[in-house]
Structure 1
């Protein structure tokens, strides 16, 4: 896809993670103000949300400096190296262990979300008016898979309705939606298998795994 479309899609994903981190922090601050509140789950939520947002923060900074294509390649390489660099040793601190696990989940989520996203080469910024005159306009080309109306509705529900993938009982998956229509389980599984959406594996199926669109899924809906 072209750099402009890629930047837009990546910015949407980053903004979503920033908002989730802000929501988690706000919830924790509210609980701290209430005497006797149970904080463990709220603290875990902050660790998970902050870790998930971290690679996106770095990516946005890289995009500002180097453009979307180079930024994505560099950040994916860093995320992969960081993930491979984690050992299996654990600390005596439960908080440290939780933070390390959250960081690993955040890196895996980032790699899954951006997997298969290819940004066109050769779109460089023009430094002089002469270069602008000489540069021929390049039509935007975005590789968007063909989808059926049912698949499009599933992607729209994932984007808009707060879809989660859960387990009602062992081996029996269910889909829940915070609002609007609830897509079928098989359709959600199908768009995940195609790489158009991803479920948050940092949560158990019993808790419910939020499902979000990947950059490809966003591109499909953007048309």
Structure 2
């Protein structure tokens, strides 16, 4: 259970930080064009994605040497307390006030997006404390669900991982990357591969040094013979 939740948190955090990176790059590109003015849309989007990514940056930066689940629960408790006790900014600068508002919106989204993980941890802890019930009568087997097939992009990513050398990594404040020597694997595609259990990640390695990625038997079954 804990390993799966750590995997979900890592994927969610990587997605939010990568979205911030894209928004910042778009704003930088717009700012570099001296023939055009800055648009409120690009500025606001960069501010919003930065606010969304901030709690996830806190989570990733606090991981060193601690239990990731404990760090996650402590961060939720800390942010919840701050959200309740902190008053809104009342600066004379409209941009400062908007930045403050977006920050707390980002905190709310973080708490909302991870609330079900806390419920899952509590349910698992409660189940571990309850006595094992008597075995019930064996139900009729349900009809097997049809196996999901990968899309072309997902199949290409599986082929890249099968070729070897694929790693998940993160350097300092950069977003989490999935690096491959032979092609590009996008974050959204990789999230599907992990959700479908077509790939496995070696979490015994740190993100800084790179976490090797390999195909599972389920993922290998989709490759051409």
Q: Which category of TM-score, normalised to the shorter sequence, fits these structures?
A: 0.5 to 0.7
- Kindly state the Cα deviation for residue 60 of structure 1 after the two structures are TM-superposed: 1.5
1:5 aligned to 2:4? yes
Whole-Å separation in 2 of the counterparts to 1:73 and 1:93: 34
Secondary structure of residue in 2 paired with 1:63: coil
Residues paired across the two proteins, number: 137
The residue that corresponds to 2:75 in the other structure is 75
Alignment of 1:19-34 (within 5 A): 19-34=18-33
In 2 relative to 1, CA 32–78 (structure 1 residues): closer, same or farther, beyond 3 Å?
same
The answer as to whether partners of 1:51 and 1:102 remain within 8 angstroms in 2 is yes
Unpaired segments ≥5 residues, structure 2: 126-144, 149-153, 155-187, 199-225
CA distance in 2, matches of 1:38, 1:67: 43
Partner of 1:114: 114
Contact 1:9/1:219 (CA < 8 Å) preserved in 2?
no
Which residue is 1:49 aligned to?
A: 49
Q: TM-score if structure 1 supplies the norm length? A: 0.52
Which deviates more from structure 2 when the two are superposed, residues 40-49 or residues 11-20?
40-49
Task: Report the more deviating stretch, 63-72 or 6-15.
Answer: 63-72
Query: Could you tell me which residue of structure 2 aligns to residue 14 of structure 1?
Result: 13
Q: Secondary structure at the match of 1:65?
A: coil
Structure with bigger gyration radius: 2
Q: Could you give the per-residue CA deviations for residues 126-185 of structure 1, whole angstroms, max 9, x where no partner exists? A: xxxxxxxxxxxxxxxxxxxxxxx7xxx9xxxxxx9xxxxxxxxxxxxxxxxxxxxxxxxx
Measure the CA separation in 1 of the matches of 2:21 and 2:100.
20
Root-mean-square deviation over aligned CA pairs? 3.4
Cα shift at 1:68: 2.1
TM-score, structure 2 length as denominator? 0.52
> 1:153-172, aligned counterparts within 5 Å?
none
Q: Give 5+ residue unaligned stretches, structure 1.
A: 122-148, 154-159, 161-211, 213-217
Contact 1:7 1:68 in 2 (8 A): yes
Give the Cα separation in 2 of the matches to 1:29 and 1:90. 29
Contact 1:17 1:52 in 2 (8 A): yes
